[in-house]
Structure 1
Amino acid sequence: MFRSRPTRSAFAAVGFVLLASVLAGCGDAGELKGAGSTPTAISPDRLWPDLTPAASPAFDIGEVETQVVKGVTVPDGDIRKVDPVAVVRAEIAAAPGDYSEGAYDETARRMADCGKSGTEGARCPVLKAYYRDLTGDGREDMTLGFRQLPGNLTAVRVYTARGDRLLQVMSYEDAVSGVELAGRSVIIRAPSEVAGYEYRLQWTWDQQQQAMLLTHDEMLRTGGGRKHSPQPSTSPSSLSSPSASASGR
């Protein structure tokens, strides 16, 4: 049970009186000493106070993207009984323009190697699935990855079970250098164009949105690297164009 503010103040006052009495009764050093001056708190400066607040985002970065995976069921509500290869095949079938007939056609072709042994089986683009409760409902969810070929991209997906339905609650792809699970979060590390730095992106389950939201997007130093030399803009329009200002991360 939490004490109210007046009760806490009363206990603090009594404690201070007892402490002062003990110190006064000691003959040796033990007096209260000042810790020095306290730094002055500086409030943030608000820039452009007359700027009209934006009412809607300029770019859609897919903050909340959930969808039921068609053609895949969850037997007995146990997500471990779902075949990860079948899940990736369902995604490819739902987007032929991206895979079978598009930029990642090699991924679609290599799906035929999944389930085989030896060298052929190693060509399967689907990575090992990991299971952990990310949504906080006491049941395991599935984190799945697969390579998007040709190229050097890795697709990362998170799925949860809703009865016998499989629901995708997170989707992202990048030139991934590492993926971690921590608590209710998925952390993705990706190489940066700046030497000695990497991107760190974190998705965390949000109970209100019923989805994994991008809660952190930052650039971190990883070690040595040459100093970045900024390049001058070749045209004034490049400073204000959406393609120049939106990194897509």
Structure 2
Amino acid sequence: MRPDRVRRLACAVTAVAALALLSGCGAAGGLESAGEAPSAVEPARLWPDLPPASAAPYDYGEGETARIPGIRVPGDDVRRLDPVAVTQAGLKARTARDSGLDELPDGTVRQIRACRTAPDDCPVLDPYYFDLTGDGRDELVLGIRMPERQLAVRAYRAEGGELTRIMSTSDAVISVERAGRDLVLRAPSVISGYEYRTAWSWDERQQAMLATRDEILRAPERRGDTDRDRSPSPSSSASATGSPSASANDSSASADPSPSSDGR
């Protein structure tokens, strides 16, 4: 077939298809309008004459870092460090901006100092190693048990043979999880069925882990609760199976009901 005929045939087929499409609009299976698209609404500022604050009213310790004295990191490999030695040396560390939020209870401090002589009471948990900063090297993540089921979580970064604490927080946690390069702390809420989740992420400019997301969410259902909700009660199971013993018990109960507690 010649090229000009191919072009004319293609145009004819396209025209027929277009007519069929137009005639089918509104018919069963045809195209229908979804209505006008909602227009974008820009944020509206409330109380525009209110002067903006220039300083935080409280110091929550965000972005605080501390060089750990007396700790050398050969090859910047944090896996070669002793977690107890790091924790003990960290008791002497001082932050550039002392908010006091990295301090531990006196009883916990005494337990940390006695970890060598009383290891069973040592509150330092097993270490974890993750690349939190994205530089290809692992950071050291430590947990320290505190009273009332609270947990202090701390992260350390090695650079130039020195060790720096880049994260320090504490809470009564449900769990601590890693999501990508973030550390996520789940904590119970006073609202039944809800929990707090705080994600800590590395901030290159601050050279520290910051709480970049803090939210309250519905708590996931526990597997045990779900199984109990789905499992039938003994009475419904007996009725469903139609066992002879269940039928006999039901008939005897109907024929000879026991007296109620009030004698009626």
> Who is 1:234 aligned against?
none
What one-letter code is carried by the residue in structure 2 that aligns with 1:109?
R
2:18 to 8, 24, 48: 24
1:21 CA drift (Å): 5.6
- 1:163-213 per-position Cα deviation (integer Å, ceiling 9, x unaligned): 210011111011111111112211111112222211111111111111111
What one-letter code is carried by the residue in structure 1 that aligns with 2:134?
G
CA RMSD of aligned residues (A): 2.9
> Who is 2:161 aligned against?
164
Contact conserved, 1:23 with 1:31, CA < 8 A, in 2? no
> Who is 2:141 aligned against?
143
How many residue pairs get aligned? The number is 197
1:103 CA drift (Å): 7.0
1:145 CA drift (Å): 0.7
1:37 CA drift (Å): 3.3
1:91 CA drift (Å): 2.3
Work out whether 1:36 is the aligned partner of 2:30. Answer: no
What one-letter code is carried by the residue in structure 1 that aligns with 2:144?
F
Work out whether 1:111 is the aligned partner of 2:112. Answer: yes
Determine the C-alpha separation between the residues in 1 that align with 2:153 and 2:138: 17
Mapping 1:212-223, distance limit 5 Å: 212-222=209-219
> Who is 1:242 aligned against?
none
Work out whether 1:62 is the aligned partner of 2:56. Answer: no
Determine the C-alpha separation between the residues in 2 that align with 1:52 and 1:23: 63
Q: Structure 2 unaligned segments of length 5 or more: list them.
A: 1-10, 95-99, 222-264
Mapping 1:1-249, distance limit 5 Å: 23-24=17-18, 32-94=31-93, 104-111=105-112, 114=115, 121-148=119-146, 150-222=147-219
* Structure 2 counterpart SS, 1:171: strand
1:83 CA drift (Å): 0.7
Cα distance change on mapping 1:21 and 1:110 into 2, 3 Å: farther
1:59 CA drift (Å): 1.4
Determine the C-alpha separation between the residues in 2 that align with 1:89 and 1:144: 12
Determine the C-alpha separation between the residues in 2 that align with 1:49 and 1:133: 43
* Structure 1 counterpart SS, 2:133: coil
Determine the C-alpha separation between the residues in 2 that align with 1:154 and 1:145: 6
Q: Structure 1 unaligned segments of length 5 or more: list them.
A: 1-16, 225-249
Give me the identity figure in percent.
48
